[in-house]
């Protein structure tokens, strides 16, 4: 009688689990943002969503740096993105302004959330495929974290103006739907991951980053409005440059 094979014991160093721990922390931030929205702490809710975005931007880079990429981590990251950038922003906006619209406001929330999950599903499929319909350096549609940042623009405007610039509820709902549609659109959007900085310009980048951090800490809402405006401008710019660089279709007459 042969003995059953022994199970192979797999052990991980604690630092290898750091990316997944960061993803879990991002999930906790997204859930806490929803809770803050329920109890009416809307400023805190926005900050928790932004914190989730920062953690989302770091966990993948940390995983690559530590050589701890895993299928579980990739799936966990995708689920966290849907919660943090598809569910939390839409619910916070609903609690803040769209409850009075009843069904129409909830429909806008559902459309945004569905668009976000479709965007993430398309990204996951394209990431596993060797073929892409876009050149390197471009995303197809607005990424989910940027969509969440843009969706909260009505709140930034209200907080920055101390309640003087409040968009009408129907316009907020329409804006939420528009951002959702941008996420699933075929519009090429510029990827900042491909940006390369020369050694001579690194010092200027660091100074600019310090200035941005100081601006967010000092004038958070005004800075976020400016960031949204600049990102919207980058979408238009990438669309124009994409069309200029696209080769002519040989099947079409001159």
Whole-model pTM? 0.82
DSSP states of 117-182 as a string? HHHHHHHHHHHH-S--SS-TTEEES--HHHHHHHHTHHHHHHHHTTTSS---HHHHHHHHHHHHHH
How many Cβ atoms are within 10 Å of 104's Cβ, its own excluded?
Answer: 13
Mean predicted lDDT score pLDDT of the chain: 81
- Fold for 14-194+204-241, please state it: 1.20.120
What does the angle CA 22 – CA 55 – CA 80 come to, to the nearest 5 degrees? Answer: 75
Q: Which of 36-50, 61-75, 207-221, 224-238 has the lowest mean pLDDT?
A: 61-75
Spans of all domains in the chain: 14-194+204-241
Q: Are 145 and 78 in contact (CB under 8 A)?
A: no
DSSP states of 64-76 as a string? HHHT---HHHHHH
Residue 187's pLDDT band (boundaries 50, 70, 90)? confident
Q: What is the pLDDT of residues 123-158, one digit of tens each?
A: 877 766 655 555 566 778 899 999 999 999 999 999
Q: Are 130 and 192 in contact (CB under 8 A)?
A: no
SS3 189: strand
The backbone torsions φ and ψ at residue 188, rounded to the nearest 5 degrees and listed phi first, read -75, 130
Residue 64's pLDDT band (boundaries 50, 70, 90)? confident
- Listed ranges 107-116, 225-234, 240-249; the one with the highest mean pLDDT: 107-116
pLDDT of 118: 93
């Amino acid at each position: 009688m042969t003995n059953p094979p022994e199970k192979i014991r797999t052990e991980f160093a604690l630092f290898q689990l750091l990316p997944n721990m960061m993803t879990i922390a991002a999930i906790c931030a997204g859930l806490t943002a929803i809770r803050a929205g329920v109890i009416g702490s809307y400023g805190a809710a926005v900050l928790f969503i932004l914190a989730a975005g920062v953690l989302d931007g770091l966990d993948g880079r940390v995983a690559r740096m530590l050589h701890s990429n895993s299928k579980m981590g990739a799936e966990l990251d995708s689920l966290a993105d849907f919660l943090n950038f598809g569910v939390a922003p839409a619910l916070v906006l609903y609690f803040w302004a769209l409850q009075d619209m009843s069904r129409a406001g909830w429909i806008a929330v559902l459309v945004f959330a569905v668009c976000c999950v479709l965007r993430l599903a398309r990204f996951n499929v394209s990431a596993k495929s060797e073929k892409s319909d876009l050149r390197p350096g471009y995303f197809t549609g607005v990424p989910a974290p940027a969509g969440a940042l843009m969706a909260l623009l009505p709140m930034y405007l209200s907080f920055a103006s101390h309640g003087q610039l409040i968009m009408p509820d129907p316009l907020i709902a329409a804006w939420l739907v528009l951002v959702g549609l941008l996420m699933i659109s075929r519009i090429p959007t510029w990827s900042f991951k491909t940006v390369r900085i020369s050694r001579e310009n690194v010092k200027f980048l660091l100074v600019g980053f310090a200035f941005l951090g100081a601006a967010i800490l000092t004038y958070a809402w005004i800075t976020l409005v400016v960031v949204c405006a600049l990102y919207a401008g980058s979408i238009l710019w990438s669309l124009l440059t994409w069309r200029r660089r696209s080769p002519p279709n040989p099947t079409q007459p001159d």
